[in-house]
Chain A
C-alpha cells in the first residue's frame, strides 16, 4: 500500500513565523505535490516536484517555497506565515511508471495562523 505521511495533523502558528510542513512517501514515487484546500475553492496546487531538487510552480505559489532534497521527502515552507494561509494542506505523490497519474494523498495538515 502507498503510504504518504505528513508531519502534523494540526498546527497553530503566529503571523510572521517561518513554517515547515513535511511530507514523506514510501513508494519510491517520482512526483510529489502540495495542495491547499479551502471551502468552496476545492484543491489548488501550490508546487510540485518531478524529481529530486526539481520544483515547478502550481496555480498559487505566492508566499510559499518548497524543498526536495531526497526522493521520498517534499517540504512546503511558509517563509512568513500570514492569516490568509490558514488552510488545510495536502501532500500527494504519484509514479511515472505505467503513466497512470493517480495521486496518493497524505492525511493533511490543518494550519491555523493567528
Chain B
C-alpha cells in the first residue's frame, strides 16, 4: 500500500525567510511519480511539479526547489525568500505506475506574514 506523510501540519514564517516543506512516501513499486500541489485560499489546487522515480535530480524553478532522495523516501519542497502570496496549503502526492489515482498527504498549511 502506498502512503504519503506530511508531518508538518502548519508552518508560520516571516516574509523573506526560507522554508522547507517535508514529504515522506511509502511504496513497494520501483516506478512511481511524486507531485506537489498548492491550494491557495481560493480553494483550487494548482499543480506545481511532477518527478518520476528514475529522476533524482533536484529541480529549481524560480524561488521554488525540490529535493528528491530515494534513499530516505523523501521529496521535500523549499521556498526561498518566501512571500505573502506563498501562503497556502501545500500537498504532496504519489502515484504508482499504471494507476491513474493519486495518494495525497494531509497537507501543510504555510502562513507567510509581512
Contact = CB atoms under 8 A, between A and B. Distances in A.
B100 A50 contact: yes
Contacts, number: 50
B43 A88 contact: yes
Interface residues of A, number: 27
Interface in B62-98: 91, 95, 97
- Greatest chain B CB density within 10 A among A30, A45, A110 is at A45
Contacts of B35: 102
Given A43-B91, A108-B44, A102 B50 contact: yes
Contacts of A74: none
A48 B100 CA distance: 9
Interface of B: 33, 35, 37, 42-47, 50, 91, 95, 97, 99-102, 104-107
In the A-B complex, the 10 residue pairs with the closest CB atoms: A42-B106, A105-B45, A108-B43, A101-B95, A31-B100, A43-B104, A107-B44, A102-B50, A102-B47, A42-B104
